[in-house]
Amino acid sequence: MKKRGKGIACIFYGTGYGNGFPDVSRAIAELRKDGNIAIYVGATEVGQGAKTIMLQMAAEVLGIQVKDIILSCEDTSITPDSGTAAASRQTYNTGNAVKIAVEKLRKELIQIAAKRLGLNSTVGLETRDKKIYLKSYSERFVTFKELASSIKENIKKEGIFIAQTTKMDDETGQGAPYWPYTVAACSVEIEVDTETGKVEVLKAVFAQDVGKAVNPKLIEGQIDGGFSMGLGYALMEDLKLKNGEIKNNSFTNYLIPTSMDMPEIEKVIIEEPESTAPFGAKGIGEPVTIPVAPAILNAIYDAVGVRMTEIPVTPDRLLKALKEKNLGAISNE
């Protein structure tokens, strides 16, 4: 017999290392002698879209295209330390460092441009399309390349961002361990086969607070990826530890979701810009995974009345729980 159920779960999550651990990101912005802009940042790309986001933020500050920027990351010989690609921190922390570095570079370029254009003030100067121009008379401009040709060395500016975090008071439990926080909610509809114990997720809705969606497509991709990991966590991925030995030590027996296991997901992007974030954006790497498993377990309870307290909910575990429930019902008759 197949039974359907619905479940929902909500979470809040503090981004960054937290609890007083130093959380520092650094970035360098440069005008090169050839007139190109370069960004140096140690933001490791692990599929979350860090490279795209850092480029977008730098381009937005300077009013240029992403393709006009040379990004160097993951090369420790030329990039400053931007911390780890962990704790959902790169968009917020390192994004802030990139924004600070590029804003410093922009300010200096404008100061040099004012002298080059024979102006007595930087007021009214703007940057766009790799040139600096007078907003009230756009035909008066100087290009980045022309500026670069007039300087002896590349212009470099460093941006440093230190996240706010304090250690929790051991006695009172009070403190400000994280900033910012984000919230998410996930709902699922599932179908349980009571004869085989198999659980299938039929459809889902995922709502994520992102601060400001700098790149909505990347956010949707992260929701897909996070849901997949939560699905595997809830129903499939089992190391089978026995006496300290991992029995499922290969993908032959350690099952992870494939695209065939994924339901249709309605994605809801919640925007409320964070005032301390670069362009208001928060990180969502881990939050998009966390509520999936509890939503699925709540849906199982709704479908068959069994509260599972151990994951993954494999077919054998669910059949055992259903059997115990039925035996309990018989003994109570």
CA–CA dist 163, 176 (Å, integer): 11
Residue located via tokens 């299938």? 200
DSSP3 helix / strand / coil % (the chain, rounded to 5) = 30, 25, 40
For residue 286, indicate whether it is catalytic: yes
Which tokens hold the place of 258? 């494939």
CA–CA dist 57, 98 (Å, integer): 7
Classify 227 as helix, strand or coil: helix
Residue 68 and residue 83 in contact, taking contact as beta carbons nearer than 8 Å: no
CA–CA dist 39, 320 (Å, integer): 56
Q: Greatest CA separation found in the chain?
A: 96
Phi, psi of 262 (to 5 degrees): -80, 135
**Burial (CB count <10 Å: 0-12, 13-18, 19+), residue 149:** exposed
Choose the catalytic residue: 286, 310, 324, 333. 286
Q: Name the residues annotated as catalytic.
A: 286
